Structure 1
Amino acid sequence: MAGYEIRTSNSKKGKGLFATKKYDQGAVILEEDPLVSCQFAWNAAYRYLACDYCMRPLETPEQNVRRLACKPDIVLPHSNCFETNLESITTCNQCAVLYCSEMCRDRAYATYHRLLCYDTSDAQHPITVLLEAWKQMHYPPETTNIMLLVRILAYIEQSSNPSQAAAKIKQFCHRTVNEDAELVHKLLGEQFADQLNTLRDLTSNLISGEHVQEFLTPEGFCSLMALIGTNGQGIGTSPLAMWVNAVLEITMSDDERQQIDLFIDKLYQYVEEESGTFLNTEGSGLFQLQSACNHSCAPNAESSFPYGNHRIQLKALKPILPGDEICISYLDDCALQRSRHSRQKELAQNYLFVCWCERCSSQSSQPDCTSEEEMSEDDADD
């Protein structure tokens, strides 16, 4: 029996995820696969090989770090502590897209790929044209991918009950503006009007059908763009990170531990010098349960991807009692440590709300700008 339920939180937040039983710190609250997920366009362009369905990386930790550091002679110790099964890699019979297993290939075909299978070498194919247009509009770091929107449309059209599938998508928050606070999502500002029209036209060339027509009108397309912008959960997978985590679990002497820690630090230094922060296979997905979690700047739960694919796990950061709302942070750790002003600015641009969590309320008397970094940010905006 599930230890949580989705119900109304308050008039401002709408729905939320609430505990129906006690969770100790570190307890797993839920695990969930997304309705659809998608690797970022630039991530794929930079040769981050991943399963086209579940985003599992298709390289070993050693291959991963050699590529990221551009050092083909790197040898990872304790390579047997982390098993990478690449023997089950397969492809779509028609378009040669890569999958980590036949199961993922079959699931992709049944969910959306039947409508989206195409010759990836065809520069004039509508998917190729759409992806190239998207990449020219959205340079790294990306926060979503137009193909997540396209896969949603294909998911509806391919469903055995398209009306029910469309209704399921509409259950996600898909408002384009927050009228109370006069906020507009950063993907939908006036400066992007021409881009949105171009993307809508290119998407309409790619997929159509009576069940998705409402999403291809100007208003419908904006709402779907807002949906992936506000609900798309970032997914990051890394063979190197999973190897590091496995090595940290090995029992070894203090001297060995010190040596391996220094070696790992050096690896990340090499990677940063060559690839910067472009470290993981990255993308985004649409999760039904996890998306019901509201934000807090002092969250009691956090999401992670412990299986190296798109399956998400929600864990308690502190004890959670029955009736407590389960909240995560929509901000990364770095942004979460910044001032209330900085946090509010990012949440408004990406999620269309002004945060009044307990932490923000207690800091309401803080000045609007509290650091040189943020002041320089504002100067750059002027």
Structure 2
Amino acid sequence: MTAPSEAQIVEAVTAKLTGSQGKTVPEAELARLLATLELENDWTDVSAKRFHSVLSKNALVDSASTASTATNGGASAGAGAAGSKKKKKSKTDAGVPRSFIDANVSIPAGVRAHYFDSVKGKGLVASRSFAEGELVFTEEAYIATPPPEAFDQVSSGELCAQCFLPVSSAPVQLAIKNCGKCKVRFCTSACARTAMATHHTLLCTELNPAAKPLVQLVQSQKWQSLHCVARSLARLLSTLTPHNNGMGKQSREQDDLIAAYGDFETVHARLSSFATVSELERRSRNPGWATEKASFEGILAEAYTALCNALDPYAEPRTSAPHPDPHHVQLDLIDAVKTRKGQIKDLFTYASFLKLLGRANVNMEKFGGLYSVHSFLNHSCAPNVQIRHVPERGILASMKVAALALRPIAKDEELVISYIDPTTRLGRRQLVLYRDYCFGPCTCPKCVQELKEVGLQYDPAKNSVKTFLDSVARKSNPDPHAAAAVDPSLEEELRASLGF
């Protein structure tokens, strides 16, 4: 990877503008252009500030477009949010993941947020056209959780506990940071700062010994969704810890932490906006759930207890201790805002725990992160966008994604990805989407055409979802024994679909 000179930056941008409608770059498009050039040219160490400075110096920035873009984007988000308030839950919507548009999510230029209805929820729509292969947006995980196979390497300090890249690949070896209490390490000061401000202060088994059973359960079961829940709650509660609210920090430092990672209300709203459904609803749709129910309910209870003991500020062992935990949540900060205590108590009920697990499993990207913008993307078996992981230091980064146009996308067209392998047979796709993502039947153009070919058309007034999916399975797969030979085993499917 190379750090480009000013001349190289100007040359690359000019080449991009050649043949386009304008001779300058709209300011709102600078972040996307920089990300595109970094991907294409293997650049490194080009900050957004430097990029803007170089382009401004060479009269390549159209700053006049900023105000109109911001106005249009804000109007779109506002319309979506307003629409969500008018939607009422239908009796037929039971078990459908619920989501809403968080107005604080920064939507990339060129796309807008849109709220469709109470069943489909939120989505992204193109506000301009995109060419095939064009970068739509890049994004880093809002909640970063390592892939299951990396848990042990993170705990041993081999991989950074924030970005999950090898610590040995750190750009500056002197910048490597150790936790100081446990074996966890961070490859840069930025990773260390983010981790300590969003999760590690509460999940370090030395700073918070009560977290040890939870961390051990995550590691032993390779339970990615439970880890995601733990880091989500830790990010929320970290806004109320001494680390983020004192410990010698000046008011400017505290303001910087809030600006970078949000306050309690901001984080709570962001986490709540992700599509949410009870994990029991997901599990009950699994064909093998009746067989596995007792054993999984046992481990769910164990996980719930471990999570509460680790993080709940009102857990009995913590409230009865003679001295307050110096690294945990400060109760006076909870009491400072009237609504916080009720929200926190609600989060640590068993019903909420099941919803948090369901939220993690429905929204996690394949490597495990929760992404604010990525979570807006709805499914189609004929997608127009694909998600790729962005290489950093020559390594495929697990917690940074890029959305690329698979084909030309017209203005006002919805941006969609495929949650599953779109080459899978029709009956299989319909079952997995209904079971793992709690929606269906899928009526994307590809599915409608394939349903038509087997003589089926979904009519919610005439068919229940389960009855229709049974019909799809029978008609699209006349030889179930052949399908059984190629499908994964029940045990593997159970573990994958339940977040293990």
Partner of 2:373: 289
Distance across 1 between alignment mates of 2:401 and 2:287: 25
Partner of 2:229: 149
Letter in 1 for 2:376: A
Aligned with residue 91 of structure 1, among 162, 169, 178: 178
Partner of 2:305: 201
Map residues 273-288 of structure 1 onto 2, 5 A cutoff. Answer: 284-288=368-372
Map residues 194-343 of structure 1 onto 2, 5 A cutoff. Answer: 194-209=298-313, 210=341, 211-235=343-367, 284-307=368-391, 308-309=396-397, 310-331=399-420, 335-343=421-429
Shift in CA distance, 11/157, structure 1 to aligned 2, threshold 3 Å? closer
Shift, 1:375, TM fit:
2.8
Letter in 2 for 1:224: L
Distance across 2 between alignment mates of 1:376 and 1:23: 41
* Cα pair 1:89 1:99 within 8 Å, conserved: yes
Shift, 1:116, TM fit:
2.1
Q: Count how many residue pairs are aligned between Structure 1 and Structure 2.
A: 300
Which deviates the most, 197-206 or 301-310? 301-310
Map residues 107-186 of structure 1 onto 2, 5 A cutoff. Answer: 107-119=194-206, 125-136=209-220, 138=221, 144-159=224-239, 161-176=263-278, 183=285
Partner of 2:151: 44
* Cα pair 1:200 1:221 within 8 Å, conserved: yes
Distance across 1 between alignment mates of 2:423 and 2:112: 30
> Which stretches in structure 1 are left out of the alignment for 5+ residues?
61-83, 236-283
Shift, 1:337, TM fit:
1.4
Instruction: Map Cα deviations across residues 328-363 of structure 1 (whole Å, 9 max, x no partner).
Output: 1112xxx32110111122222221112221111111
Shift, 1:50, TM fit:
2.1
Distance across 1 between alignment mates of 2:488 and 2:162: 42
* Cα pair 1:301 1:328 within 8 Å, conserved: yes
Letter in 2 for 1:200: Y
Letter in 1 for 2:300: L
TM-score, structure 1 as length reference: 0.70
> Which stretches in structure 2 are left out of the alignment for 5+ residues?
1-27, 29-108, 240-257, 314-340, 455-471, 492-500
* Cα pair 1:25 1:316 within 8 Å, conserved: yes
> Structure 1 vs Structure 2: percent identity of aligned residues?
23
Higher helix share: 2
TM-score, structure 2 as length reference: 0.54
Shift, 1:154, TM fit:
1.1
1:18 paired with 2:125, answer: yes
Letter in 2 for 1:16: G
Distance across 1 between alignment mates of 2:289 and 2:195: 27
CA RMSD of aligned residues (A): 3.2
Shift in CA distance, 379/169, structure 1 to aligned 2, threshold 3 Å? closer
Shift in CA distance, 113/131, structure 1 to aligned 2, threshold 3 Å? closer
Instruction: Map Cα deviations across residues 262-302 of structure 1 (whole Å, 9 max, x no partner).
Output: xxxxxxxxxxxxxxxxxxxxxx1111111100011111001
Shift in CA distance, 316/202, structure 1 to aligned 2, threshold 3 Å? same
Partner of 1:55: 164
Distance across 2 between alignment mates of 1:126 and 1:314: 39
Shift in CA distance, 289/186, structure 1 to aligned 2, threshold 3 Å? farther
* Cα pair 2:427 2:477 within 8 Å, conserved: yes
Distance across 1 between alignment mates of 2:288 and 2:413: 31
Shift in CA distance, 93/25, structure 1 to aligned 2, threshold 3 Å? same
Higher strand share: 1
Letter in 2 for 1:323: D
Distance across 2 between alignment mates of 1:358 and 1:49: 46
Aligned with residue 439 of structure 2, among 333, 345, 353: 353
Shift in CA distance, 306/375, structure 1 to aligned 2, threshold 3 Å? same
